[in-house]
Amino acid sequence: MTSDVQGSHVLDRVLVLEMVRVTEAAAIAASKWIGRGDNDSADAAAVEAMRTELNNLPMDGTVVIGEGERDEAPMLYIGEKVGSAQGTGPKIDIALDPLEGTNLTAKAGPSALAVLAIAENGCLLNAPDVYMEKVAIGPGYAQGTVGLDKSPADNVRSLARAKGVEPSDIIACVLERPRHDKIIAELRELGCGINLIPDGDVAGVMATADPDTDIDIYMGSGGAPEGVLAAAALRCVGGQIFGRLLFRNDDEVGRARGWGIDDLDRIYSVTDMAKGDCIFAATGVTHGSLLKGVSRRKDCMTTESLVMRASSGTVRRVFTEHYKLGSRRSL
């Protein structure tokens, strides 16, 4: 795949594979808690490992999407500075979720990921930790094929016309939540397929760009920070995502205004959430349709990762064997 997005000399100084090492470390740390029923410990292990690896990189990084605000998150909070070259290295904005799917990990469910996106300073939306209404499709479709101005059924019909198939041939991915009961009922009435997922809407959005998953469209509401991460991923492969912030109370509105968001009804496109060149990396924690999870062998662990870059349009799958010291096999 090629891209007309201009490359960034700033990002050139932060090697693509270095981002994979960061997500690998978080995934391996979280994997020790798979099936243990302890969400907090799984998340804490991933956060600590990711923070350590980020601080080893020669950059002046700022977390713009993180684990929450400083009083909520002791590490990798929004605004935290990371990297070993503060004041001298390239200025990088970072969106991250060290463990996207804490419940999935605790219950040994599918498709938990460690995810990370980076871009030049000012190129990632500083989204408050509120809900976001989303609709997303993969690459190859005209602008306007889907949008938040259409009903769920109309989005499916429009996408079906663009694909040259019947609406009943479309598979929609939706988070299984009571708030989505109306969407699910509308799609059932239309007759299309629905892939209900328990958690992990970054993986759900990314699945629309992977033909092996058979998922055509993602819709519903999830976290706004996850929306930015998903936008960075789709930015690299040419997919589309639209998001609109949802506010449950005045406190959430105030937090949004504190981040400089004045148009509370704005619909954000993929380039509004992730501008210019960006790099996205994800490593599987538990096995899923997108990535294999961490596997443990006698002397090593294996990981599978994706790393993508907008300017080059490249998508790399990285399979890594992590051997214990002194046990590495001969090649």
pLDDT over 90 at 330, yes or no: no
In the chain, domain spans = 9-123+279-323, 131-274
Structure tokens of 132?
């976001």
Q: Are strands 60-65 and 113-120 parallel, antiparallel or unpaired?
A: unpaired
What band does 53 get if pLDDT is binned at 50, 70 and 90?
very high
Question: What is the DSSP-derived secondary structure letter of residue 264?
Answer: T
Mean pLDDT rounded to a whole number for the chain: 91
What band does 2 get if pLDDT is binned at 50, 70 and 90?
very low
Over pLDDT 70: what percentage of the chain? 93
Q: What is the DSSP string of 273-310?
A: HB-SSEEEEEEESS--SSS---EE-SSEEEEEEEEEET
What are the tens digits of pLDDT across the range 194-232?
999 999 889 999 999 988 889 999 999 999 999 999 999
Mean predicted confidence (pLDDT) in 286-314 = 92
* Domain 9-123+279-323 indexed as CATH 3.30.540.10: yes
What band does 1 get if pLDDT is binned at 50, 70 and 90?
very low
**Topology annotation, domain 131-274:** D-Maltodextrin-Binding Protein; domain 2 (3.40.190)
Q: What angle do CA 196, 201, 205 make, to 5 degrees?
A: 95
Mean predicted confidence (pLDDT) in 23-44 = 97
Mean predicted confidence (pLDDT) in 23-43 = 97
Spatial CA neighbour of 206 closest among 303, 267, 139, 106: 139
Contact 125, 160 (CB under 8 A): no
Looking at per-residue pLDDT, the higher value among 126 and 184 belongs to: 184
Residue 108 phi/psi, 5° resolution?
60, 35
Amino acid at site 296: R
What are the tens digits of pLDDT across the range 226-264?
999 999 999 999 999 999 999 999 999 988 888 888 899
Structure tokens of 64?
């713009």
Asked if the domains at 9-123+279-323 and 131-274 fall in one CATH topology, the answer is: no
Q: What is the pLDDT of residue 144?
A: 93
